[in-house]
Chain A
Amino acid sequence: MRITSPRNVWAGLMFLAFGLFFAIWAVANYQMGTAVRMGPAYFPTVLGGLLAFLGLVVLSMSVTVKGPRVDTFHFRPLLLILAANVAYGYAMKPLGLVLATALLVFISAFGGHEFKWKEVTLLYVFLIVFSWVVFVWGLTLPFPMWPEALGY
């Protein structure tokens, strides 16, 4: 057997894993109930089973169907963009909007093709002014502007 569509291998495995996980977790932890009075496990078990089954079908398609290879993953933009958002979330309360936005803008800009300090700094200044005017002043979102430690 030769794998002719690699994308289906991974897609199939993904669906199989999700399906099995939800079904097994539901069966193990929640009550099944009956068809008349369905317990919390009933619906997820059925869905999870179906999903796992479809995962197997997709997996089988990896040897019966021809398809393109999986495109290379670009880890730099992927990781940096995701990290930038998480950093923003965790920085907001202790550090305030000004510094959290700095983290978001600079980390995500590192994920792009070219990074010029001057450009990104200008962009950052623009975005922070914009955020302040629109979100804090205009929409009165309750964001702290400055670090807590500074006493604002």
Chain B
Amino acid sequence: MDILDNLLLGFSVAMTPIHLWYALVGVMLGTMIGVLPGVGPVATIAMLLPITFNLKPEAALIMLAGIYYGSQYGGSTTAILVNLPGETASVVTCLDGYQMARQGRAGPALAVAALGSFFAGCVATVVIAVAAPPLAEVALKFGPSEYFSLMVLGLVAATVLAHGSLIKAIAMVLLGLLLGLIGTDVNSGVLRFTFGIPELSDGIGFVVVAMGMFGLAEIIANLELKGAREVFTGKVKNLFPTREDFRRAWPAVLRGTALGSFLGILPGGGSILSAFGSYTVEKKLSKYPEQFGKGAIEGVAGPESANNAGAQTSFIPMLTLGIPGNAVMALMIGALMIQGIAPGPQVMTEKPELFWGLIASMWVGNAMLVVLNLPLIGMWIKLLTVPYRYLYPAILVFMAVGVFSLSNNPWDLVVMAVFGLLGYVCTKLECEPAPMILGFILGPLMEENLRRAMLLSRGDPTVFITKPISAGFIVASLILLVIVALPALRKKRQEVFVEET
């Protein structure tokens, strides 16, 4: 069995003491920062990315992946205890998790979320191991036109998932693509949009953009809110779910895992869509739909499993195609590039230790989360009671150190401030930053592939629809757009996202 051999190789990498250590550090840091309300996985990873610059690629990716699911885990803890989503995907967990906490059942809610996530993580690891190799094989045959169309699909999917106006989301993608073009044009060597500023000739670092748009803008927005937070600190005593809880939760976990594993693979998919999807499914199938929103355990178990499964399988397009499905994966790609590895299908064949080591480490990291975090919940709750006025200067110090260490140049902090301003303005105007970041990362890649495709086809633009795979991606993008633009479904989409605002 190839898969077994590969997984064994992966575990031999992931189980070395040094990698176990980095997985542990990543998971702990991720949970710690993810617990803080208003700091989601993207900001967390962006903030901690510079720490990984000095590490070897395997260690760096293992740690970043640990930060990712650690922060998701932390996000659900916050959702259950404070009714504030630590990240977008745990918005759904707020609905029933917080209600459970109010009924004094925070313990079972946290335990079910953790165990469900662990189960989903195990399944998703297997899904990646099975699905990634054949996909990478297909991807090796991709030419520039296929890549271009795939990126179009990814961007369209990202806009569909953004809440609020579809047109604004597309505009944000375009803005991101344009900002991504700043710097030296690879084909002609011309400096584009650099305005004579030497620092711009290498382009704008996406870490800086992500920290500004997500980190700074979030802090500023949080400082506007004065509301006191209600934290259920004393009430987390009985951690273990009852037999009845288990009976009701496990089918939800199974369904959530299946749904999440599938939705995560789609470009632009990932944890958010999975969580919302699972909640809807559970509510439809439940014998007690009236309990949803009032503390139904299925409403925690299903979405939590789904979002973890989706978060992990969203690594598939990143690892096999080199295409980021969401903003977190965009950061991962950035991390790979900083390590000198061009993401794409060749990573699996050229760097099998990295590829399979990362996959195995996902399982290891999930196991660590369950083992460590259930006992540590008391500590995370303490962290939640720290007032925001102590937290945000600390977060700022982290971000400033991270950004400054990129190139020891004050310029990066100026750029971060500029994007903090842009991010703040965008949230005020209901324009979501996530699609912009995705466009920003893909900008140069898209241009490169577009140019090559057009050169190969001698300027014939129909190449994108005459090649079957490419045509498939374009058709899928169009279908997605039409679905979202249809009024009936648009209403549904608003309903789904309305809880977030």
Contacts and interface: CB of A to CB of B under 8 A. Distances in A.
Interface of A: 7, 10-11, 14-15, 18-19, 22, 25-26, 30-31, 34-40, 43-44, 47-48, 50-51, 54-55, 57-58, 61, 67, 70-71, 73-74, 77-78, 81-86, 88-90, 92-93, 101, 104-105, 108-109, 111-114, 119-120, 123-124, 127, 130-131, 135, 139-143
Select the residue from A38, A57, A81 with max chain B CB neighbours within 10 A.
A81
B24 to A, nearest CB: 15
B197 interface: no
Contacts of A55: 171
Contacts of B207: none
B178 A47 contact: yes
B167 A61 contact: yes
Nearest to B418: A82
A85 B413 contact: yes
B216 A81 contact: yes
Contacts of A112: 223, 388-389, 392
A124 B461 CA distance: 59
A77 B167 contact: no
Contacts of A131: 397, 401
A81 B100 CA distance: 37
A79 B462 CA distance: 49
B94 to A, nearest CB: 22
A31 B410 contact: no
Interface stretch (B265-273, B353-361, B449-457): B449-457
A85 B220 CA distance: 12
Nearest to B457: A36
Given A47-B174, A89-B400, A139 B51 contact: yes
Interface of A is mostly: helix
Query: Which 10 pairs show the lowest CB-CB distances between chains A and B?
Result: A89-B413, A89-B410, A36-B459, A77-B223, A35-B459, A11-B429, A82-B417, A51-B174, A54-B171, A40-B185
Interface string B272-314: 0000000000000000000000000000000000000000000
A61 B168 CA distance: 11
A77 B224 contact: yes
A39 B192 CA distance: 11
Contacts of A7: 428-430
A78 B217 CA distance: 8
Interface in B348-402: 388-390, 392-394, 396-397, 399-401
Interface of B: 51, 54, 165, 167-168, 170-171, 174-175, 177-178, 181, 185, 187-188, 190, 192-193, 216, 219-220, 223-224, 226, 388-390, 392-394, 396-397, 399-401, 403-405, 408-414, 416-417, 420-421, 424-425, 428-431, 446-447, 450-451, 454-455, 458-459, 461
A82 B421 contact: yes
Contacts of B54: 139-140
Contacts of A48: 178
Given A44-B192, A77-B224, A89 B174 contact: no
Given A26-B192, A40-B192, A108 B171 contact: no
Given A15-B175, A111-B223, A105 B430 contact: no
A47 B420 contact: no
Given A89-B411, A123-B390, 7 more contacts: A44-B178, A82-B216, A85-B216, A89-B403, A92-B404, A108-B392, A111-B220
B178 A90 contact: no
A108 B394 contact: no
Given A39-B188, A104-B400, A123 B455 contact: no
A130 B393 CA distance: 13
B493 to A, nearest CB: 16
A139 to B, nearest CB: 6
B420 A85 contact: yes
A72 to B, nearest CB: 9
A89 B412 contact: yes
B454 A36 contact: yes
Nearest to A54: B171
A51 B443 CA distance: 14
Contacts of B451: 38, 43
Select the residue from A31, A89, A123 with max chain B CB neighbours within 10 A.
A89
B429 A86 contact: no
A92 B412 CA distance: 13
Contact of A31 (B178, B188, B390): B188
A36 B174 contact: no
A51 B393 contact: no
Nearest to B181: A44
A105 B397 contact: yes
Contacts of B168: 11, 15, 58
A97 to B, nearest CB: 9
A15 B168 CA distance: 9
A89 B414 contact: yes
